[in-house]
Amino acid sequence: AQSVSQHNHHVILSEAASLELGCNYSYGGTVNLFWYVQYPGQHLQLLLKYFSGDPLVKGIKGFEAEFIKSKFSFNLRKPSVQWSDTAEYFCAVSHYGGSQGNLIFGKGTKLSVKP
């Protein structure tokens, strides 16, 4: 069965620090990859997605993620975090051609940014 691993449960950073949140998945075939974000008091929303093409994907608010097929990874990065990036981040994966009903979420990583 597919699974998604997010290595860090809680990450605490100071403003302007660089961010990298790990995400690994277990599926040998072609995949679609997503990062969702949940800001405090708000609903989950899509941050960025990868279907095919350039493995470096840019999303909203300066976030980017790199798909490394050989490592089964889709890590989320941001060069300089802001206090407003404090949120919970979820990685999700589905096999290529699958439906939203096949989407598998990771357990989430809480990011706390100190002003």
Partner 1 sequence: DGGITQSPKYLFRKEGQNVTLSCEQNLNHDAMYWYRQDPGQGLRLIYYSQIVNDFQKGDIAEGYSVSREKKESFPLTVTSAQKNPTAFYLCASSKMTGMESPLHFGNGTRLTVT
Identify the H or E element spanning 94: strand 87-95
Using CB under 8 A as the binding rule, whether residue 25 contacts partner 1 is answered as no
Using CB under 8 A as the binding rule, whether residue 101 contacts partner 1 is answered as yes
Using CB under 8 A as the binding rule, whether residue 56 contacts partner 1 is answered as no
Please tell me the distance from the alpha carbon of residue 30 to that of residue 7, in angstroms, as a whole number.
22
Using CB under 8 A as the binding rule, whether residue 103 contacts partner 1 is answered as yes
Using CB under 8 A as the binding rule, whether residue 9 contacts partner 1 is answered as yes
Using CB under 8 A as the binding rule, whether residue 52 contacts partner 1 is answered as no
DSSP states of 19-32 as a string? EEE--EE--SS-EE
Do residues 63 and 77 make contact, with C-beta atoms less than 8 angstroms apart? yes
Using CB under 8 A as the binding rule, whether residue 107 contacts partner 1 is answered as yes
Of the candidate residues 11, 24, 67, 94, the single one contacting partner 1 (CB under 8 A): 94
Identify the H or E element spanning 49: strand 45-50
Binding footprint of partner 1 on the chain (CB under 8 A): 4, 6, 9, 32, 34, 36, 42-46, 49, 51, 90, 94, 96-101, 103, 105-108
